[in-house]
Chains A and B, each alone.
Chain A
Protein backbone atom coordinates (compact mmCIF):
# COMPACT_ATOMS: atom_id res chain seq x y z
CA UNK A 1 0.00 0.00 0.00
CA UNK A 2 1.09 3.51 -0.68
CA UNK A 3 2.26 5.73 2.13
CA UNK A 4 3.48 9.27 2.56
CA UNK A 5 6.08 10.23 5.14
CA UNK A 6 6.52 13.68 6.56
CA UNK A 7 9.41 13.23 8.94
CA UNK A 8 9.10 16.62 10.63
CA UNK A 9 6.01 17.05 12.77
CA UNK A 10 6.95 20.64 13.53
CA UNK A 11 9.34 23.11 11.91
CA UNK A 12 10.06 26.35 13.77
CA UNK A 13 11.59 29.11 11.68
CA UNK A 14 12.15 32.83 11.97
CA UNK A 15 10.34 35.27 9.75
CA UNK A 16 12.07 35.96 6.40
CA UNK A 17 14.18 32.80 6.72
CA UNK A 18 14.00 30.03 4.09
CA UNK A 19 12.19 26.81 4.88
CA UNK A 20 11.99 23.27 3.49
CA UNK A 21 9.27 20.80 4.49
CA UNK A 22 10.16 17.24 3.62
CA UNK A 23 7.92 14.64 2.01
CA UNK A 24 8.71 11.13 0.81
CA UNK A 25 6.34 8.64 -0.76
CA UNK A 26 6.54 4.90 -1.08
CA UNK A 27 4.98 4.07 -4.42
CA UNK A 28 7.16 2.80 -7.24
CA UNK A 29 4.56 3.49 -9.89
CA UNK A 30 3.52 6.79 -11.38
CA UNK A 31 1.99 9.16 -8.89
CA UNK A 32 0.40 12.54 -8.72
CA UNK A 33 1.70 14.63 -5.83
CA UNK A 34 0.10 17.47 -3.91
CA UNK A 35 0.82 19.88 -1.11
CA UNK A 36 -2.11 21.27 0.87
CA UNK A 37 -2.15 23.90 3.61
CA UNK A 38 -4.56 23.95 6.52
CA UNK A 39 -5.00 27.08 8.62
CA UNK A 40 -6.45 26.64 12.12
CA UNK A 41 -10.02 25.37 12.11
CA UNK A 42 -10.28 25.56 8.35
CA UNK A 43 -10.35 23.17 5.42
CA UNK A 44 -7.48 22.33 3.13
CA UNK A 45 -6.27 24.62 0.38
CA UNK A 46 -4.17 23.39 -2.51
CA UNK A 47 -0.69 24.93 -2.63
CA UNK A 48 0.65 23.10 -5.66
CA UNK A 49 0.56 19.84 -7.56
CA UNK A 50 2.80 17.67 -9.71
CA UNK A 51 1.18 15.64 -12.47
CA UNK A 52 3.91 15.37 -15.10
CA UNK A 53 6.46 17.47 -16.95
CA UNK A 54 8.86 19.84 -15.22
CA UNK A 55 9.99 18.52 -11.88
CA UNK A 56 10.01 22.00 -10.34
CA UNK A 57 6.50 23.08 -9.54
CA UNK A 58 5.53 26.58 -8.46
CA UNK A 59 2.47 27.18 -6.35
CA UNK A 60 0.62 29.92 -4.54
CA UNK A 61 2.00 32.19 -1.82
CA UNK A 62 5.57 31.85 -3.10
CA UNK A 63 5.89 28.12 -2.44
CA UNK A 64 7.54 25.65 -4.78
CA UNK A 65 8.30 21.94 -4.71
CA UNK A 66 10.65 19.63 -6.57
CA UNK A 67 9.71 16.14 -7.66
CA UNK A 68 12.62 13.72 -7.36
CA UNK A 69 11.72 10.30 -8.72
CA UNK A 70 14.97 8.58 -7.75
CA UNK A 71 14.60 9.68 -4.15
CA UNK A 72 10.79 9.41 -4.17
CA UNK A 73 10.61 12.86 -2.64
CA UNK A 74 8.52 15.98 -3.12
CA UNK A 75 9.93 18.56 -0.72
CA UNK A 76 8.23 21.94 -0.30
CA UNK A 77 10.29 25.12 -0.15
CA UNK A 78 9.89 28.83 0.33
CA UNK A 79 12.84 31.26 0.19
CA UNK A 80 11.42 33.71 2.74
CA UNK A 81 8.53 32.94 5.09
CA UNK A 82 6.01 35.28 6.67
CA UNK A 83 4.14 35.09 9.95
CA UNK A 84 1.01 34.38 7.92
CA UNK A 85 2.55 31.13 6.64
CA UNK A 86 2.08 29.58 10.07
CA UNK A 87 -0.15 26.59 9.39
CA UNK A 88 -0.23 22.81 8.99
CA UNK A 89 1.12 21.52 5.69
CA UNK A 90 0.11 18.16 4.25
CA UNK A 91 1.78 16.21 1.48
CA UNK A 92 -0.49 13.81 -0.43
CA UNK A 93 -0.28 11.34 -3.28
CA UNK A 94 -2.64 9.70 -5.78
CA UNK A 95 -1.53 6.62 -7.67
CA UNK A 96 -2.01 7.45 -11.35
CA UNK A 97 -2.53 3.92 -12.67
CA UNK A 98 -5.98 4.51 -14.06
CA UNK A 99 -7.64 3.05 -11.00
CA UNK A 100 -11.23 3.89 -10.28
CA UNK A 101 -10.48 5.91 -7.17
CA UNK A 102 -8.39 9.05 -7.02
CA UNK A 103 -8.24 8.89 -3.27
CA UNK A 104 -5.62 11.04 -1.62
CA UNK A 105 -3.14 9.38 0.72
CA UNK A 106 -1.95 11.99 3.19
CA UNK A 107 1.12 12.35 5.32
CA UNK A 108 0.71 13.17 8.99
CA UNK A 109 1.40 16.84 8.42
CA UNK A 110 4.07 19.35 9.36
CA UNK A 111 3.29 22.35 11.51
CA UNK A 112 5.22 25.35 10.22
CA UNK A 113 5.64 27.79 13.11
CA UNK A 114 6.98 31.14 11.96
CA UNK A 115 8.40 33.30 14.72
CA UNK A 116 9.03 37.06 14.57
Chain B
Protein backbone atom coordinates (compact mmCIF):
# COMPACT_ATOMS: atom_id res chain seq x y z
CA UNK B 1 0.00 0.00 0.00
CA UNK B 2 1.73 3.13 -1.20
CA UNK B 3 1.79 6.09 1.13
CA UNK B 4 0.57 9.59 0.43
CA UNK B 5 2.13 10.85 -2.78
CA UNK B 6 2.86 14.46 -3.53
CA UNK B 7 4.28 16.00 -6.65
CA UNK B 8 6.29 17.78 -7.54
CA UNK B 9 8.66 17.52 -4.59
CA UNK B 10 10.25 20.84 -5.49
CA UNK B 11 8.69 23.65 -7.46
CA UNK B 12 10.22 26.95 -8.47
CA UNK B 13 8.00 29.73 -9.71
CA UNK B 14 8.57 33.36 -10.55
CA UNK B 15 6.41 36.01 -8.94
CA UNK B 16 3.07 36.23 -10.71
CA UNK B 17 3.05 32.66 -12.00
CA UNK B 18 0.69 29.90 -10.92
CA UNK B 19 1.66 26.94 -8.76
CA UNK B 20 -0.21 23.62 -8.82
CA UNK B 21 0.53 21.09 -6.11
CA UNK B 22 -0.83 17.56 -6.32
CA UNK B 23 -1.64 15.06 -3.64
CA UNK B 24 -2.72 11.44 -4.04
CA UNK B 25 -4.03 10.05 -0.74
CA UNK B 26 -3.41 6.56 0.51
CA UNK B 27 -5.62 3.87 -0.96
CA UNK B 28 -8.97 3.80 0.79
CA UNK B 29 -8.57 7.30 2.23
CA UNK B 30 -11.23 9.80 1.21
CA UNK B 31 -10.21 12.68 3.48
CA UNK B 32 -7.43 15.06 2.51
CA UNK B 33 -5.84 17.86 4.51
CA UNK B 34 -3.40 20.51 3.33
CA UNK B 35 -0.92 22.18 5.68
CA UNK B 36 1.69 24.85 5.12
CA UNK B 37 5.03 25.04 6.87
CA UNK B 38 6.76 28.40 6.70
CA UNK B 39 10.49 28.58 7.49
CA UNK B 40 11.20 28.18 11.21
CA UNK B 41 7.52 27.58 11.98
CA UNK B 42 5.24 24.65 12.66
CA UNK B 43 2.60 23.39 10.29
CA UNK B 44 -0.57 25.43 9.84
CA UNK B 45 -3.85 23.92 8.70
CA UNK B 46 -5.13 25.26 5.39
CA UNK B 47 -8.03 23.18 4.12
CA UNK B 48 -9.87 19.91 4.62
CA UNK B 49 -11.56 18.15 1.72
CA UNK B 50 -13.53 15.04 1.05
CA UNK B 51 -14.26 13.76 -2.42
CA UNK B 52 -15.84 16.63 -4.39
CA UNK B 53 -16.43 18.69 -1.24
CA UNK B 54 -14.56 21.35 0.68
CA UNK B 55 -15.40 20.74 4.33
CA UNK B 56 -13.28 23.35 6.08
CA UNK B 57 -11.20 26.05 4.40
CA UNK B 58 -10.79 28.24 7.45
CA UNK B 59 -7.00 28.24 7.10
CA UNK B 60 -6.87 29.25 3.46
CA UNK B 61 -5.80 32.78 2.54
CA UNK B 62 -8.79 34.67 1.20
CA UNK B 63 -7.28 35.36 -2.19
CA UNK B 64 -5.21 33.46 -4.78
CA UNK B 65 -5.47 30.07 -3.03
CA UNK B 66 -7.92 27.33 -3.96
CA UNK B 67 -8.18 23.58 -3.47
CA UNK B 68 -10.13 20.75 -4.97
CA UNK B 69 -10.48 17.00 -4.59
CA UNK B 70 -12.34 15.66 -7.60
CA UNK B 71 -14.15 12.36 -7.82
CA UNK B 72 -11.28 10.98 -9.87
CA UNK B 73 -7.67 11.99 -9.58
CA UNK B 74 -5.51 13.73 -7.01
CA UNK B 75 -6.29 16.67 -4.79
CA UNK B 76 -4.92 19.93 -6.15
CA UNK B 77 -3.80 22.99 -4.23
CA UNK B 78 -3.60 25.93 -6.60
CA UNK B 79 -1.87 29.21 -5.90
CA UNK B 80 -2.39 31.96 -8.42
CA UNK B 81 -0.07 34.92 -8.93
CA UNK B 82 2.48 33.64 -6.43
CA UNK B 83 4.43 36.06 -4.25
CA UNK B 84 7.68 35.53 -2.33
CA UNK B 85 5.73 35.04 0.89
CA UNK B 86 4.17 31.89 -0.57
CA UNK B 87 7.57 30.17 -0.42
CA UNK B 88 7.06 27.29 1.99
CA UNK B 89 6.70 23.56 2.29
CA UNK B 90 3.17 22.37 1.57
CA UNK B 91 2.16 19.05 3.09
CA UNK B 92 -0.80 16.91 2.28
CA UNK B 93 -2.21 14.36 4.71
CA UNK B 94 -4.94 11.79 4.30
CA UNK B 95 -7.13 9.75 6.60
CA UNK B 96 -9.75 7.03 6.19
CA UNK B 97 -13.49 7.80 6.47
CA UNK B 98 -13.89 6.34 9.96
CA UNK B 99 -10.47 7.03 11.36
CA UNK B 100 -9.38 7.98 14.85
CA UNK B 101 -7.94 11.30 13.79
CA UNK B 102 -4.55 9.98 12.73
CA UNK B 103 -3.38 11.56 9.52
CA UNK B 104 -0.77 10.18 7.19
CA UNK B 105 1.53 12.74 5.68
CA UNK B 106 3.13 12.96 2.28
CA UNK B 107 6.74 14.07 1.74
CA UNK B 108 5.68 17.63 0.92
CA UNK B 109 6.20 20.04 -1.95
CA UNK B 110 8.76 22.74 -1.39
CA UNK B 111 7.70 25.85 -3.27
CA UNK B 112 10.26 28.54 -3.96
CA UNK B 113 9.12 31.83 -5.44
CA UNK B 114 11.87 33.86 -7.07
Contacts and interface: CB of A to CB of B under 8 A. Distances in A.
A23 B99 CA distance: 24
Contacts of A100: 55-56
B107 A96 contact: no
Interface in B13-65: 31, 33, 35, 41-45, 48, 55-56, 58-59
Nearest to B106: A43
Interface of B: 4, 31, 33, 35, 41-45, 48, 55-56, 58-59, 91, 93, 95, 99-108, 110
Interface of A: 32, 34, 36, 41-46, 49, 51, 90, 94, 96, 100-109
B109 to A, nearest CB: 10
Contacts, number: 63
B59 A45 contact: no
Contacts of B35: 104, 106
B105 A102 contact: no
A20 to B, nearest CB: 19
Given A90-B42, A102-B99, A108-B42, 10 more contacts: A36-B105, A41-B110, A44-B105, A49-B102, A51-B100, A102-B48, A103-B59, A105-B45, A106-B44, A109-B42
Listed from nearest, the 4 A-B pairs whose CB atoms lie closest are A106-B42, A101-B56, A44-B105, A43-B105
Nearest to A91: B42
Nearest to B46: A103
B42 A46 contact: no
Contacts of B58: 101
